[in-house]
Structure 1
Amino acid sequence: MTHTDYTGFILTRHWRDTPGGTELEFWLATDAGPRKVRLSAQTSVAFAEAANRSAIEGQIAADAGIELRELQLKTFQQQPVIGVYASRYKQLTALERALRDHGVKLYEADIRPPERYLMERFITAGVHTEGGHASGNIIQNCKLKPAPDYRPKLKMVSLDIETSAYEDLYSIALEGCGQRQVYMLGVPPADAPAVDFDLEYCATPRQLIERLNSWMARHDPDVVIGWNVVQFDLRVLQKNADKYKVPLALGREGKAIEWREHPGKQGYLFAPVAGRIILDGIDALKAASWLFPSYSLENVAQSMLGEGKNIGDDYDKMAEIERRFQHDKPALALYNLKDCELVTRIFEQANLLAFMIERATVTGLQADHLGGSIAAFNHHYLPRMHREGYVAPNVGDVSGGASPGGFVIDSRPGLYDSVVVLDYKSLYPSIIRTFLVDPVGLVEGESAGNPDDVVQGVNGTLFSRDKHCLPAITTEIWKQRDAAKKAGNEPLSTALKLLMNSFCGVLGASECRFFNPRLVASVTLRGHQMLKQTRQLVEAKGYDVIYGDTDSIFIWLKKEYANEEALAIGQDLAQYINDWWRTMLKEKHGLECHLEIELDTHYQKFFMPTIRGTDMGSKKRYAGLTINSKGEEEVIYRGLEVARSDWTPLAQQFQQGLFKRIFKDQPYQEFVRDYAEKTLSGQYDDLLVYRKRLRQPLSEYKVNVPPQVRAARIADEYNLAQRRPQRYQNGGWISYVMTTGGPEPLEALRSHIDYEHYLTKQLQPIADSILLPMNDSFTSLTTAQASLF
């Protein structure tokens, strides 16, 4: 008997209908190598109200292989349901469409077979196989059980290609699995220098792709990474493979990419590959909450690694790639491989592969399924809801408008000494745990007869004290995160935090089957009450609350304190508030308190600006001088121009310099005058560049045409005249400056710089937001200077 018991990590999942029923296929990474699990004759299930049984039977042929069964389940409207079991999943979806036309609902018919199989067994990513029979690396009809503690050792390769400006394939580089390989189109030069990687020349583009297919089969990576790897590298490889009539067989067992287009994002592609995870570096960084003003490989590599491979702007780069391809192919190969190595090092530096493994383990989603908050919620919630006796509603069953967001306490603009910030730890999850906010709990609570069995929510909602799912799910994730933090497992801690914090937003998303504005309001409005109550508690202690936002409250201590003294006051306030909540909730409501406020920061100097053009305090915009964990002074910026990519470096550096002087009680007047004078004299011309994103094709901008679009149109007119590919027709990033002729792109500057624009639109707004609360202004300072000449 061949050994069939393995512990592994689910890489990919697929399903297909066969004459014998639905077949599931899972590729696993195990310590013994990759294994494919094939489960045949799997039954698919949906649910319907029992009252509709006759209507359903009228739509089912006698030999359809569909069976109706009585179940001890009900809908959210307390209607008993039956199970609709089909031997093939497509039968179920076809029946759902037919019944919908007759006004009859099937519930949960949209849950795909692999997801249904895994979630009902509480499997996320780690699995243990038992029984069945094996042939080679294929295991048939075994049982899968959860193995939540298993973490795989995955084989990873970084992939990058180089092309002409028109996407003709020049070379393919691969770095990983112990290999450094470049396949180059053309013949080796006679005087080729020695290189420290494998460089193979191919006579045709077809051979390039064949070599790639062979490499993937020979070295068999579990994970393929790259930079924009799906939308560019794989898309262009597929385009060339189709052109030269050769398969692009990057999946295990030589399977092709199963291309799919994003249903709501035209032109955005998914590239599922059998047995291999495809991870894009840009998407992975965003999923792990890394923020950069630009996600170009050059910028991220410079920021994280302190190096890049810059060979000029996009057109200089294309010209250099073309030159190397024609005259110095080894140099092009080295450049191609450098991209791969930078991506690999970024993944290592950011611990991205570990994060993606932990994220899959936490969410139940495939590791390269980024986003997916609703799918992750379903994975955790549906099986627990079934065990409470309910089936899920369908998307669209509940309608309603937007729910209230976080509460904001109006800010008091000005410059302050000693401001401490207290922050509620995971506010919305802690409200869910404390006040038992839950979809099933709401249904049960509002049908309960005894007031002692329910928790009073906001706006008349009632939640069951003993029948609910989400509070227990949140509590378990909370405990796992505490354990991960204690163990120093930052990727796991981050994945758990992101999942837990997504729950409230999911309930407020109309695309979610559990969408209900009353549920979301029960969380957010409770947060409003908490922030208001916290303000009262703080002010009763003799301090002033100068700002608050959702889960944070900013407290002015009303005089200057040394850092340690201020921190001690902040700790005492947090303890006082936590004790108050704990006592009040226990004595008044009989609830266990999971609310916890903690000291976040002490700002030795804190500045809250006004809303531009008014004397009102701004929201989500401030700066403060603090002592960081290294004991060093640091200025924190939130929402200000220095922290935003749509302002020029001129404005950002000006704001930093002005705050530095004000926070250190240094004279600032001469700095403002000197900065304005140097701007006018052209000494800061290299700081005047705007860099903005075009979020839609140029043709879509018809009525309101912003400066970046005008600049992009000028650029592409110039590109066309130069017989170069147009860069901006489908969006992208554009760099431009404001001139006397309007916005002009860097590649086609024709007019003089409009220095007055930079004074009035960049420097003056920043200066006045800081200086006006101090009874000063940019105009008074620079006008006084001008009067001297």
Structure 2
Amino acid sequence: MTKTVAGHGMVLTARMIPRGSAQQIEIWLAGADGPKRLLTPPEPAICFVSQQETAALKRLCKEQGITASVTPLSLTTFTHEAVSVVKLQQDKLLYRLRRLCAEHAITLYEADIKTTERFFMERFITSGVTYRGQPGADGQTINNARLKPADFRTRLLTFSFDIECNEKGELFSIGIASPVLNNVLMIGDNSNSTPGALADEDAAQPFSITWCDNEKALLAAFMQLVQHHDPDILLGWNVKQFDLPVLADAAKRCGIKLSLGRQHAAVEIRVFDDNRAIVEVPGRAVIDGIEGLKSMTFQFDSFALDNVANHLLGKNKLIDEPDKLSAIKHLFHHDKRALAAYNYQDCVLVNDIADKVRLTDFLMLRSELTGLRLGRPGGSVASFINLYLPRLHRAGYISPNRPNDGGLASPGGYVMSSKPGLYRNVLVLDFKSLYPSIIRTFKIDPLGLVEGLKQPTHAIPGFKGALFSRDKHFLPDIITSLWQQRDEAKQQQDKPRSQAIKILMNSFYGVLGSGGCPFYDTRLASSITMRGHEIMQITADWITQAGYDVIYGDTDSTFVHIDQDIDADAIQRIGRQLEQDINQRWQHKTQKDYGVQCDLEIEFETHYERFFMPTIRGSEAGSKKRYAGLIRQGDSTEIVFKGLENVRSDWTTLAKDFQQALYEKIFSDTPVNDYVTQIITGIKSGQFDHQLIYTKQIRKPLREYTKTAPPHVKAARHADEQNRKYGKPLQYQKRTSIHYVMTTIGPQVPEYRSHPLDYDHYIDKQIRPIADSILPAIGKHFETLVNQQLGLF
């Protein structure tokens, strides 16, 4: 009798591998007793076809020599056509069949669902599993594995690593920082290092150095360390787009495989024309710090490691020079130990950032909620499909296909015209997760739309002809479950879990309105956004009827001016009373008008003691999504800027500081004339030169800027002309960030500035717009102050 073993684990990676003429899925788990490699029974590639086109599909397969099983099912499309399931032995046959069907106008459904993803979603597996199978000879492999979902989590070992190299990708060193190993692998020896600096025998140093003769020895040592310590996660900064592709190129150059996967599996890399790379390391999750922070919705002026570390940790890289590459090359040739310290510190910074934001916890929770693997970037459409598709199949339907034209745009969030001005006492009332609560209340759902249109007299009306079933739907229930989990996470002060659930819930509207989603339907997205418009407008009317002035509304927030001379406690009472009254009225209205329970909930969120809403430049009309307000917390105050220069990444430090100080003075009723004229004087005298640097992202290769050349592109081209002239590496040919200044002959980088700064530019383009927006609110004008100041020169 064949022996059977069972166990639990967390899914780390999954990929298809051939098995004769068939294929099976290789799944690596992190288990309580170490990593396990599961091999499934043969797993076919699957898609669907309308039964009306079954005969044509069979003829095509016969003509092309493709063996396919085509079996009628009781499932239907959203247009109620019966379908057959198409099974092929390998994915490559499905790819071929997709291409042939497109050429012969035969529609396949769900043909773009990867077999590995279908395997997990149809079993409702997200992260944790329980498995059974036959043990392999290596003690790590489980054959003919059968899996079920399970609530399981274990600790994962992370290697943070970073490489240093020259502009040609020739390696200098590889650093590793982890709980079990802190080491820098360095090509060369100790002969050129600073005497006594970080000596091998110095027990206080946080890392060791391993000297390697050449690139091949360096790569071999790195692979040996990874195999020996066997981490579950490889963590780095831009590791998928830079470090691993560079290592793979170096391995190819040395005639070896980059075997970083478990059981010495090679790294798999696909590089696209736009330099994007998809990287898979079998058995190990690859987490890119930049992708991870973006998934957590962090935003920075620049995602350069130095900048993010400074913002989150108050720390910086050990090399603080504009031309880091030249500094790194210099250290490699003249002080390898200093380079090792720099290399290792980068690994530590990535670990510290990940710990600070609890990145791995967030990604594990996201995986448990959605089935997205730990190292997967983005993935809101994939998350929705993972959660929704297996439920849809069990309800008797298959998914529609993505729209060929990308879909029609749906109305955006509600933004009312503002009443510009400088105010005292403005309250902000926010609907709690407005779009998810609309989905819950009005039962907005892809299946619900199909079923609602079948029974219009019993349905809940939406917009653009939408009708939603009252009892046949999935999305409202999925959101309700997530909502409850988020409330529990908040009570337990589990921020990563709360954040993961919030991001997931809020993504559902965007998914339904995205042409990249197979469930896209403008009736779905419009029934969310247009209902949001209606809710915001009715809410504003109710507040106006209560005797208060609504001065602005934006998506889910309503701004209310309390034009009364009362104290802060009275203001708070008004805010809480409005909250209570509006919630009661919505509960009554949804029940009366639609016969549904109301899940809408408005909250009194903020009291601005002072508030400023600017006009649109060159107009008397109020602007949108641009305002500033002063909040008091105990004895301290904070100014919140929204959409103004202070929060824009392409404005200089001086402009941001000027705006902060100017608003502080105006909000506290402090005279501003002297301050404004001091700033003008300081600019012209060179006092603020160090604060006049622009930072901008170059978002595509320089050669692709053909029609127009923005200032930062001109600066980049000038800088690389100088780099070429002096025999230095070109810094700005690909996507990167650049620091530049405006001179009297145009934009230049600081290190190659050849002319004086254009102070008039900074006054007119940086200071004037800020002052012009708010000074008229206190009866003053920037032009008058400038003319007074120019009289002094």
TM-score > 0.5, shorter chain as reference: yes
Aligned equivalent of 1:589, options 576, 594, 604 = 594
Name 2:410's counterpart in structure 1. 403
Name 2:537's counterpart in structure 1. 532
> RMSD in angstroms over aligned alpha carbons?
1.9
The equivalences for 1:34-73 within 5 A come to 34-61=35-62, 65-73=67-75
Is 1:306 paired with 2:314?
Answer: yes
Per-residue deviation at 1:260? 1.5
Give CA deviations for 1:380-419 in whole Å, capped at 9, x if unaligned.
1111111111111112268742110011111111111111
Is 1:718 paired with 2:686?
Answer: no
Q: What is the distance in 2 between the residues matched to 1:570 and 1:395?
A: 45
Is 1:24 paired with 2:25?
Answer: yes
Name 1:484's counterpart in structure 2. 489
Q: What is the distance in 2 between the residues matched to 1:220 and 1:655?
A: 52
The equivalences for 1:387-786 within 5 A come to 387-396=394-403, 400-448=407-455, 451=457, 453-628=458-633, 632-786=636-790
Listed as ranges, the gaps of 5+ residues in structure 1 are: none
Contact 2:180 2:229 in 1 (8 A): no
Name 1:281's counterpart in structure 2. 289
Q: What is the distance in 2 between the residues matched to 1:471 and 1:711?
A: 51
Name 1:360's counterpart in structure 2. 367
Per-residue deviation at 1:631? 5.9
Contact 1:166 1:725 in 2 (8 A): no
Is 1:261 paired with 2:271?
Answer: yes
Per-residue deviation at 1:86? 2.7
Name 1:215's counterpart in structure 2. 225
The equivalences for 1:94-105 within 5 A come to 94-105=96-107
Name 2:304's counterpart in structure 1. 296
Give CA deviations for 1:614-655 in whole Å, capped at 9, x if unaligned.
222111111111024x76311111111111110011111100
Contact 1:418 1:560 in 2 (8 A): no
Name 1:247's counterpart in structure 2. 257
- Distance change in 2, residues 1:131/1:521 (3 Å): same
Contact 2:4 2:134 in 1 (8 A): no
Q: What is the distance in 1 between the residues matched to 2:656 and 2:540?
A: 33
Give the residue type in structure 2 aligned to 1:247.
Answer: K
Contact 1:404 1:525 in 2 (8 A): yes
- Distance change in 2, residues 1:245/1:510 (3 Å): same
Name 2:76's counterpart in structure 1. 74
Q: What is the distance in 1 between the residues matched to 2:588 and 2:391?
A: 31
Is 1:227 paired with 2:237?
Answer: yes
Contact 1:185 1:203 in 2 (8 A): yes
Per-residue deviation at 1:561? 3.9
Give the residue type in structure 2 aligned to 1:275.
Answer: G
Q: What is the distance in 1 between the residues matched to 2:640 and 2:760?
A: 30
Per-residue deviation at 1:163? 1.6
Give CA deviations for 1:182-234 in whole Å, capped at 9, x if unaligned.
11111222956344222111111110000001001000000011111122221
Per-residue deviation at 1:91? 3.0
Per-residue deviation at 1:298? 1.4
Is 1:112 paired with 2:119?
Answer: no
Give CA deviations for 1:233-260 in whole Å, capped at 9, x if unaligned.
2122122212222221111111111112
Q: What is the distance in 2 between the residues matched to 1:168 and 1:461?
A: 59
Per-residue deviation at 1:310? 4.1
The equivalences for 1:362-377 within 5 A come to 362-377=369-384
Q: What is the distance in 2 between the residues matched to 1:411 and 1:615?
A: 11
Give the residue type in structure 1 aligned to 2:314.
Answer: G
Give CA deviations for 1:321-369 in whole Å, capped at 9, x if unaligned.
2332222222211111111111111111111111111111112111111
- Distance change in 2, residues 1:310/1:770 (3 Å): farther
SS in 2 for 1:6: strand
Is 1:140 paired with 2:143?
Answer: yes
SS in 1 for 2:109: coil
Contact 1:3 1:134 in 2 (8 A): no
- Distance change in 2, residues 1:222/1:462 (3 Å): same
Contact 2:406 2:516 in 1 (8 A): no
Give the residue type in structure 2 aligned to 1:778.
Answer: F
SS in 1 for 2:423: strand
Per-residue deviation at 1:131? 4.3
> Which range moves more in the overlay, 393-402 or 273-282?
393-402
SS in 2 for 1:259: strand
Per-residue deviation at 1:470? 1.4
Q: What is the distance in 1 between the residues matched to 2:102 and 2:368?
A: 36
SS in 1 for 2:309: helix
Per-residue deviation at 1:160? 0.9
> Which range moves more in the overlay, 630-639 or 718-727?
630-639
Give CA deviations for 1:662-688 in whole Å, capped at 9, x if unaligned.
111111111111111111111111111
SS in 1 for 2:623: coil
Contact 2:41 2:145 in 1 (8 A): no
Q: What is the distance in 2 between the residues matched to 1:393 and 1:165?
A: 47
- Distance change in 2, residues 1:649/1:169 (3 Å): same
Give CA deviations for 1:486-526 in whole Å, capped at 9, x if unaligned.
22221111111111111111111112111111211111000
- TM-score, scaled relative to structure 2: 0.96
> Which range moves more in the overlay, 42-51 or 245-254?
42-51
Q: What is the distance in 1 between the residues matched to 2:269 and 2:95?
A: 22
Give CA deviations for 1:545-589 in whole Å, capped at 9, x if unaligned.
111111111111112443333222112111111111111111221
Contact 2:318 2:342 in 1 (8 A): no
Percent of aligned positions that are identical: 42
Q: What is the distance in 2 between the residues matched to 1:144 and 1:50?
A: 32
Q: What is the distance in 1 between the residues matched to 2:13 and 2:536?
A: 44
Give the residue type in structure 2 aligned to 1:142.
Answer: A
Contact 2:318 2:345 in 1 (8 A): no
SS in 2 for 1:592: coil
Q: What is the distance in 2 between the residues matched to 1:153 and 1:166?
A: 38
> Which range moves more in the overlay, 168-177 or 562-571?
562-571
> Which range moves more in the overlay, 760-769 or 394-403?
394-403
- TM-score, scaled relative to structure 1: 0.96
Per-residue deviation at 1:158? 0.7
The equivalences for 1:162-201 within 5 A come to 162-189=164-191, 193-194=199-200, 195=202, 196=205, 197-201=207-211
Give the residue type in structure 1 aligned to 2:274.
Answer: Q
Q: What is the distance in 2 between the residues matched to 1:702 and 1:177?
A: 49
Q: What is the distance in 2 between the residues matched to 1:485 and 1:132?
A: 43
Aligned equivalent of 1:124, options 126, 148, 158 = 126
Q: What is the distance in 1 between the residues matched to 2:405 and 2:661?
A: 52
> Which range moves more in the overlay, 429-438 or 322-331?
322-331
- Distance change in 2, residues 1:64/1:735 (3 Å): closer
Q: What is the distance in 2 between the residues matched to 1:25 and 1:631?
A: 59
Aligned residues: 782
